[in-house]
């Protein structure tokens, strides 16, 4: 069993702590330690935005204050997650050296200020960051209180998503392309530049895609996105190397859910631990089911990046201050939302932030300690109660991890490519499509992982690959082998369309043999104008907007079953859902978008066929989710996201964690209750 941080208390409970804002108020710092203990906090993240305090002038270092705080926390049983400070630049740096500041697509260079907005290519920025990171590591990297490196902060979280269009970045991009393609001929072919006479005759003619320049070459757009992601990943690697010089503590970065600009699967390879910042929009509607499901998908992605427990590095104990409407978590929701993270594989509940800042952009962002009332607040009491509960369940939960037998393909490169096309409809909605395939698993209580095209498929009984449009080298062969060896693979309309350069794959679908399908036309309609239906599992289902017209390819040895066909339009009778046995496994093809509910019925059947039903599958009322973490003993988390009590029928005799109380038959879950049980 992979464990998150060897030898440190689990589960972690704490959060971002910014004592640098209070250095002239020693009584506040004293009070913090006392209140942290009262709140059952066992770790904090320090130094995230401390550069100006650590290095107030170039080359002048002040680490004493930080050491003192780490010491005092450690003496009180509180561990430190130590951040490198590159998230925000001090003025002396940004003012003195233009090149460290990011340039927008309009060619304008940022003025100093704000954060997450440096140029990742700038050699000067890299040198300065390396210097401060090394100093930090040399002085504090082996402190026994420091358990983890928090490299920078939310890389790329600004209006430009980490992309910088300065001359240094343009040059680095050209070099990246030269390394990839070798010759301009190869690049011109891959980018199909003969179209509109845009053949490049010199590397210098290549610029980043910008609205007032070239944005129509999909190969260029895709490579630029790869470059932007790679460049920040490389910047991150340079920070990791800097702290590693004097410290062997594990490293993480705090990620941001399905963050489009960066391929987190690639980042994950250079990290020891995955962590992320979770800020769901609760109370977005009359119920919280959709929010809960989407949040579960985010947690699942984070666990999937390493197929291991992760950390929820930030969450708010009450409100955020950057959404259109910032609603307080009603009593009980904080505990449920936090335990949802744990249920999905997090080994921590951490907050932004411990103490509210007195001024600045985030002075009204939720925190454990408010401007007034000390520990005498509802939020503090809920945090403390949760901290206590985390301590109580820690032994049962640690070390365990969810072990799905089903996977959904979610691939960043595919995302970039799908969302760039000018094709059947304006917004191809790749992420929403993927989430719509995740939702049934969540509703059915079946554990699922996300994988990308490079991940192994062995070990999964079922792999779903919705809208797998771009096939990287070797992907089709991998699927073929997976199915031959007994896997069940489901894919959909708009799959196998382009190769890794976004060039259309000619002649036939790369998986034509496996799927038994020849695709011909792609239709996008306004369903009210051109309604269509399919029948499946004794029900008639409305067909959605995207519809592929395809034909069965007869195969005498492996006949194809048409499970459902279009019932209207000129393609009436054409297959909408097919299954073909292939080798020891089988492949399914879904030709169209469908109304809500269809996928749940389909996946419930497939789960039955693949023998991957969960213990609670088919028994969960709406808005109740279950997650299972496996270890010596499995642990189930039954989560009621309804604002009302519901009854759940237990499939076996359950023992409540931690007190061992026995439950059987029907149990009532209070609003927002999370019941944790073993068998
Ligand atoms: C992000 C940042 C934090 C803070 C929070 C506010 O997650 O990492 O510094 O700004 O948002 O929600
Ligand atoms: Zn740049």
Q: What is the pLDDT of residues 268-285, one digit of tens each?
A: 999 999 999 999 999 999
Q: How far apart are the first and last CA of the chain?
A: 20
**Which pLDDT score is estimated for 5?**
78
Determine the average pLDDT of the residues in 433-458.
98
Q: Which two tokens stand for residue 600?
A: 């749940």
**Residues 483-509: tens digit of each pLDDT:** 999 999 999 999 999 999 999 999 999
Determine the average pLDDT of the residues in 514-521.
97
Query: Which mutation among 152, 157, 276, 314 tests ligand 1's pocket best, with the greatest number of atoms within 8 A of CB?
Result: 314
The model's pTM is 0.98
Q: How deeply is 595 buried, as exposed, middle or buried, from its count of CB atoms within 10 A (0-12, 13-18, 19+)?
A: middle
Supply the DSSP symbol for 100: G
**Residues 531-557: tens digit of each pLDDT:** 999 999 999 999 999 999 999 999 888
1: pLDDT strictly greater than 70: no
- The answer to whether the beta carbons of residues 20 and 45 sit under 8 Å apart is no
> Closest Cα to atom 3, ligand 1: which residue?
352
Query: CB pairs under 8 A, 24+ apart, for 213-218?
Result: 217/191, 217/192, 217/193, 218/191, 218/417, 218/420, 218/421, 218/502
Q: How deeply is 559 buried, as exposed, middle or buried, from its count of CB atoms within 10 A (0-12, 13-18, 19+)?
A: exposed
Closest by CA to 667, choosing from 640, 633, 643, is 640
Q: Is 528 a catalytic residue?
A: no
Q: Indicate whether residue 320 lines ligand 1 (CB < 6 A).
A: yes
- Which of helix, strand or coil describes residue 512? helix
Supply the DSSP symbol for 195: G
**Which pLDDT score is estimated for 4?**
67
**Which pLDDT score is estimated for 470?**
98
Residues sharing a CB contact under 8 Å with residue 175, sequence separation 6 or more, in sequence order: none
Determine the average pLDDT of the residues in 354-370.
97
Q: What distance in angstroms lies between residue 159's CA and the mean position of ligand 1's atoms?
A: 14
CA 187 to chain centre: 32
Q: How confident is the model at residue 2 (pLDDT cuts 50, 70, 90)?
A: low
Q: Is 314 a catalytic residue?
A: yes
Q: Report DSSP letters for 282-320, one per residue.
A: TTSSSSSHHHHHHHHHHHHHHHHHHTS-BEEEE--SS--
Question: What counts of helices (H) and strands (E) characterise the chain?
Answer: 17, 27
Rounded Cα–Cα distance for residues 658 and 677 (Å): 8
Q: Looking at the CA of 124, name the nearest ligand.
A: 2
480: pLDDT strictly greater than 80: yes
**Residues 130-189: tens digit of each pLDDT:** 999 999 999 999 999 999 999 999 999 999 999 999 999 999 999 999 999 999 999 999
Residues sharing a CB contact under 8 Å with residue 227, sequence separation 6 or more, in sequence order: 172, 173, 176, 177
Q: What is the chain's mean pLDDT, rounded?
A: 97
Catalytic residue among 135, 314, 447, 673: 314
Q: What distance in angstroms lies between residue 352's CA and the mean position of ligand 1's atoms?
A: 6
Q: Indicate whether residue 279 lines ligand 1 (CB < 6 A).
A: yes
Helix, strand and coil in the chain, % to nearest 5: 30, 20, 45
Rounded Cα–Cα distance for residues 357 and 69 (Å): 18
253: pLDDT strictly greater than 80: yes
Q: Which two tokens stand for residue 402?
A: 């969810």
Rounded Cα–Cα distance for residues 133 and 138 (Å): 8
**Residues 105-140: tens digit of each pLDDT:** 999 999 999 999 999 999 999 999 999 999 999 999
- Is omega for the bond preceding 420 within 30 degrees of 0, making it cis? no
Q: Looking at the CA of 107, name the nearest ligand.
A: 2
């Amino acid at each position: 069993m992979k464990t998150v941080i060897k030898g440190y208390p689990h589960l972690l409970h704490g959060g971002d702590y910014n004592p640098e804002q209070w250095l002239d108020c020693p009584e506040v710092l004293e009070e913090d330690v006392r209140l942290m203990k009262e709140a059952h906090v066992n770790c904090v993240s320090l130094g995230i935005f401390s550069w100006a305090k650590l290095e107030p002038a170039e080359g002048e270092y002040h680490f004493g204050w930080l050491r003192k705080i780490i010491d005092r926390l450690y003496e009180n049983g509180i561990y430190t997650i130590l951040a490198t400070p590159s998230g925000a630049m001090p003025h002396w740096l940004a003012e003195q050296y233009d090149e460290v500041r990011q340039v927008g697509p309009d060619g304008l260079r940022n003025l100093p200020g704000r954060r997450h907005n440096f140029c990742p290519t700038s050699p000067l920025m890299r040198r300065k960051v390396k210097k401060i990171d090394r100093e930090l590591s040399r002085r504090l990297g082996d402190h026994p209180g420091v358990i983890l490196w928090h490299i920078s902060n939310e890389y790329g979280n600004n209006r430009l998503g980490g992309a910088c269009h300065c001359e240094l970045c343009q040059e680095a991009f050209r070099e990246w392309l030269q390394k990839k393609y070798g010759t301009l001929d190869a690049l011109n072919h891959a980018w199909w530049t003969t179209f509109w006479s845009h053949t490049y005759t010199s590397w210098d003619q290549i610029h980043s895609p910008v609205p007032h320049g070239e944005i129509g070459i999909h190969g260029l757009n895709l490579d630029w996105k790869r470059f932007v992601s790679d460049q920040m990943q490389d910047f991150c690697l340079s920070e990791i190397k800097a702290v590693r010089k004097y410290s062997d503590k594990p490293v993480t970065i705090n990620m941001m859910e399905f963050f489009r600009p960066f391929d987190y699967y690639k980042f994950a390879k250079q990290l020891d631990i995955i962590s992320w910042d979770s800020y769901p929009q609760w109370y977005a509607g009359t119920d919280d089911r959709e929010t809960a499901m989407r949040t579960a998908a985010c947690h699942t992605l984070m666990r999937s990046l390493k197929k291991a427990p992760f950390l929820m590095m930030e969450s708010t104990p009450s409100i955020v201050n950057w959404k259109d409407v910032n609603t307080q978590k009603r009593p009980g929701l904080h505990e449920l939302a936090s335990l949802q993270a744990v249920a999905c594989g997090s080994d921590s509940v951490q907050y932004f932030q411990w103490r509210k800042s007195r001024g600045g952009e985030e002075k009204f962002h939720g925190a454990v300690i408010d401007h007034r009332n000390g520990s005498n607040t509802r939020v503090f009491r809920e945090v403390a109660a949760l901290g206590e509960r985390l301590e109580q369940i820690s032994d049962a939960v640690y070390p365990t991890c969810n072990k799905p037998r089903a996977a959904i393909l979610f691939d960043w490169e595919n995302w970039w490519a799908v969302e760039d096309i000018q094709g059947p409809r304006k917004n191809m909605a790749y992420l929403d499509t993927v989430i719509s395939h995740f939702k049934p698993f969540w509703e059915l209580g079946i554990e699922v992982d996300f994988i990308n095209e490079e991940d192994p498929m062995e070990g999964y009984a079922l792999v779903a690959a919705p809208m797998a449009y771009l096939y990287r080298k070797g992907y089709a062969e991998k699927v073929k082998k997976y199915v031959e060896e007994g896997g069940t693979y489901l894919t959909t309309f708009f799959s196998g369309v382009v190769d890794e350069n976004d060039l259309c794959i000619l002649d036939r679908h790369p998986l034509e043999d496996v799927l038994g399908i020849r695709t011909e036309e792609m239709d996008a309609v306004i369903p009210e104008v051109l309604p269509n239906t399919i029948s499946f599992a004794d029900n008639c289902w409305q067909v959605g907007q995207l519809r592929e017209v395809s034909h069965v390819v007869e195969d005498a040895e492996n006949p194809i079953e048409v499970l459902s066909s279009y019932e209207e339009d000129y393609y009436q009778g054409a297959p909408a859902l097919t299954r073909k046995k292939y080798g020891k496994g089988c492949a399914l093809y879904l030709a169209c978008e469908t109304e809500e509910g269809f996928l749940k019925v389909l996946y419930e059947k497939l789960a039955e066929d693949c023998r991957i039903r969960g213990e609670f599958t088919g028994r969960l009322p709406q808005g109740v989710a279950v997650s299972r973490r496996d270890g010596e003993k499995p642990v189930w988390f039954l989560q009621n996201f309804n604002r009302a009590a519901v009854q759940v029928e237990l499939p076996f005799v359950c023992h409540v964690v931690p007190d061992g109380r026995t439950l059987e038959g029907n149990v009532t879950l209070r609003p927002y209750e999370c019941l944790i049980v073993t068998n």
